[in-house]
Amino acid sequence: MTKRRDPTDELNPTAEGENKTETVEFGNRFLTDKDQVFEHNACNRDNVEPSAEHLEHAKNIVLKQAENPVEDSEKVAFDEKANEFWNKFYNNNENKFFKNRNWLNLEFPEIFIGKEGDELEEDFNILELGCGVGNTTFPLLEANPNPKFKVFTTDFSSTAIDVLKQHPLYDNDRCKAFVWDMTATELPEIIEPNSLDCILMIFAFSAVHPKNWKQTIDNLLKMLKPGGQVLFRDYGRFDLAQLRFKKGRYVQDNFYVRGDGTQVYFFTEDELREIFDPSKFTEKQLGVDRRLIVNRAQKVQMHRVWIQGKWIKKADEE
């Protein structure tokens, strides 16, 4: 399963941090004067803690969403036909929907080790899950021209992979793109067990049904080298996108279906700590990244919430 920006993100081009230009690292910039909130648009700048009133309001919205869920028969269809919805999405949008993630070097500097002049004694192998049409893949390849820097990139949508392979920067010697469902019980043939230095999961895991989380994590463990790491960024609990869902979109706790049939989950830090089993992974980073969207004319505040994490596979996990 793969990823997409939710409908509210179309109104906010910085929704996934894709237009970041600051040099301040994740979680290190704060709105210190709440009285100044309407003086400047704080979107994508300030790590604003929500008020108790906002959190209570958000909880009440989610409770009301749960009162009008998706019909049980439709839940099955959305899950079983997920690839059809993603293919339709990419047929309609091709490479025009997402912006290139040029902020990667700020948040994930550990994968920028193949730059010009850098020496790699052996291949450095990265797998991107839910790659879409290559908005992470191609910035990575451009920034890391070392021929030993290898990118495996996969998506649930065959249409997305077809579009990616048509990109002028696609280089079959350094990049292998293929169709694969990260929840599958079989690993992709192209990936050897214990062979990956890094796995990227950027707005991808949220598309996975909770019943398939364990299988997905088992797959990561099988593919990563001991000491290899997972770099993660995705939607957080009570994000604006979650609170904007209307009647008939609630599938189960914090899991929704969008108008185009694709699905999305909104995580908490505690959930991710449990999902990435501490007996198998060492937590390197985990935190909530908050951004405040301000409508100055109407004096409205809207909160974006994302979660970013880094985990290292323990050496005794073969």
The pLDDT, as a whole number, for residue 38 is 46
Half-sphere exposure of 3 (CA within 13 A, CB side): 27
The pLDDT, as a whole number, for residue 99 is 55
Pick from 253, 260, 221: nearest CA to 237: 253
Beta-bridge mates of residue 234? 307
Q: Identify the residue whose tokens are 């550990």.
A: 110
| Cβ–Cβ under 8 Å, residues 215 and 129 | no
Domain boundaries along the sequence of the chain? 7-13+32-313
The pLDDT, as a whole number, for residue 47 is 74
The pLDDT, as a whole number, for residue 35 is 52
Can you list the residues of the chain whose pLDDT is less than 70?
1-46, 86, 89, 92-102, 114-118, 295-300, 317-318
In SS3 terms, 187-214 reads as CCCCCCCCCEEEEEEECCHHHCCHHHHH
CA distances from 291 to 5, 13, 37, 183, 239 (A): 16, 13, 12, 31, 10
- CATH architecture, domain 7-13+32-313: 3-Layer(aba) Sandwich (3.40)
Predicted confidence (pLDDT) per residue in 15-49, tens digit: 444 444 344 455 555 555 555 554 554 444 467 78
The pLDDT, as a whole number, for residue 5 is 43
The pLDDT, as a whole number, for residue 15 is 43
Q: Which amino acid is at 44?
A: N
- pTM, two decimal places: 0.84
